[in-house]
Amino acid sequence: MTKDMRLDGRVALVTGAGGGLGRAHAMELARRGAKVVVNDLGGARDGSGATLGPAETVVAEIREAGGEAVANGDSVADRAGAQNMVAQAMDNFGRLDILINNAGILRDKTFSKMDLDDFELVVQVHLLGSAYVTHAAWPIMRQQKYGRIVMTTSSSGLYGNFGQSNYGAAKMGLVGLMNCLKLEGARDNVKINCLAPTAWSRMTSDLMPPEAAAFFTPDAVAAGIVSLCGEDAPSGMILEAGAGYFSKVETVEGQGVGLYLDATAELVAEKWSEIIDMTGARTFGAAGEVSNAILSKYNAG
């Protein structure tokens, strides 16, 4: 049996924690001893409006349960707001160990009907917002030689979803951000992972059948968060989580075919079934490993 996964002495910032998954993450981290900055803009599902109320309510819940928390109402999509929420963690608790980039909005439409303002705003909140807050936390975590960051991706980005081109693009962008930061943070013990959740929340209540609410609970996802941001967290991993189901997601590449300098369109077409054969597919830890794999095939050929 795994020992209790405590987070005593750790300080966490959870964005978009006024409800849904963010609230569940904040409660879970606080229950395990972390001091938490509960950020939430408090707007509508499409990102309009703002109020501190939802963040304050979650802070009150954490305190009632015996935990320590403070509320922040800044927008992650605003650079100064991102700096401010990180500064609030430092001012109140003196350090920042865990950042859960969770805040998000939806503006779903098919691409042909989508206003580019809606595309930009969704990318602004999910991708740039996560980058802004991470950028503000990064020097602190590097200097501490300790940091744990979680990006919230989605199966809509990993696999696609009709009507969510803006959201899917932003969510897959977060995987690219994680892949690069896992390399840049490694020397200073800053680890970064992605969570791909499925939960019944304000965001998904009209996308899922009502009976799903009983088992696709935010708490069933939050049970996985400590494994991504605790002491023994991996780095560069994508964890799929929903209704108590947990699974690792990876980008994999087939063994491929080396046609070398003889490659022509016809030869590629001729070898197509071998090129797309995923038998023996592998993953790579960094881009450089791909060119090494190509070169080793070349040398062997």
Ligand X SMILES: NC(=O)c1ccc[n+]([C@@H]2O[C@H](COP(=O)([O-])OP(=O)(O)OC[C@H]3O[C@@H](n4cnc5c(N)ncnc54)[C@H](O)[C@@H]3O)[C@@H](O)[C@H]2O)c1
157 binds ligand X (CB under 6 A): no
Q: Which residue has the tokens 């964890």?
A: 239
3-class SS at 121? helix
For ligand X, which stretch binds (CB under 6 A), given 96-104, 229-237, 272-280, 286-294? 96-104
199 binds ligand X (CB under 6 A): yes
Give the nearer residue to ligand X in terms of CB position, either 44 or 268: 44
8 A C-beta contact, residue 255 and residue 263: no
Determine phi and psi for 241, rounding to 5 degrees: -145, 130
8 A C-beta contact, residue 58 and residue 18: yes
Tell me which of 27, 42, 88, 226 binds ligand X, using CB under 6 A.
42
DSSP string, 120-176: HHHHIIIIIHHHHHHHHHHHHHHHHT-EEEEEE--HHHHT--TTBHHHHHHHHHHHH
Q: Which of 46, 16, 165 is nearest to 106 (CA)?
A: 46
CB neighbour list of residue 232: distance below 8 Å, 6 or more residues apart: none
CA distances, 29 to each of 7, 67, 137 (Å): 7, 9, 18
**Contact pattern from residue 47 through residue 66 relative to ligand X, giving x for each residue in contact according to CB under 6 A and a dash for the rest:** x------x------------
Q: How many residues does the chain have?
A: 301
The pair of structure tokens assigned to 229 is 């941001």
For ligand X, which stretch binds (CB under 6 A), given 26-34, 62-70, 195-203, 259-267? 195-203
282: left (phi over 0), alpha (psi -120 to 50) or beta: beta
Catalytic one among 167, 245, 260, 298?
A: 167
Tell me which of 26, 41, 86, 128 binds ligand X, using CB under 6 A.
41
The interface with ligand X within residues 202-231 (CB under 6 A) comprises 202-204
- Which amino acid makes up residue 148? R
Residue 213, classified by CB atoms within 10 Å of its CB into exposed (0-12), middle (13-18) or buried (19+), is middle
**Contact pattern from residue 5 through residue 34 relative to ligand X, giving x for each residue in contact according to CB under 6 A and a dash for the rest:** ----------xx-xxxxx------------
Closest separation in Å from C-beta 24 to ligand X: 8
The pair of structure tokens assigned to 131 is 């980058």
- Per rule CB under 6 A, count of chain residues that contact ligand X: 33
Closest separation in Å from C-beta 191 to ligand X: 20
What is the rounded (10 degree) CA torsion for 62, 65, 66, 67?
A: -30
Give the nearer residue to ligand X in terms of CB position, either 16 or 257: 16
Give the nearer residue to ligand X in terms of CB position, either 7 or 195: 195
131 binds ligand X (CB under 6 A): no
Closest separation in Å from C-beta 86 to ligand X: 13
Report how far residue 50's alpha carbon sits from residue 40's, in angstroms, rounded to the nearest whole number: 9
For ligand X, which stretch binds (CB under 6 A), given 62-70, 74-82, 88-96, 282-290? 74-82
**Contact pattern from residue 229 through residue 258 relative to ligand X, giving x for each residue in contact according to CB under 6 A and a dash for the rest:** ------------------------------
8 A C-beta contact, residue 217 and residue 246: no
Residue 167: active-site member: yes
77 binds ligand X (CB under 6 A): yes
Residue nearest to ligand X (CB): 20
Contacts to ligand X by CB under 6 A:
15-16, 18-22, 39-43, 45, 47, 54, 75-77, 102-105, 125, 129, 152, 154, 197-199, 201-204
Residues with a catalytic annotation lie at 167
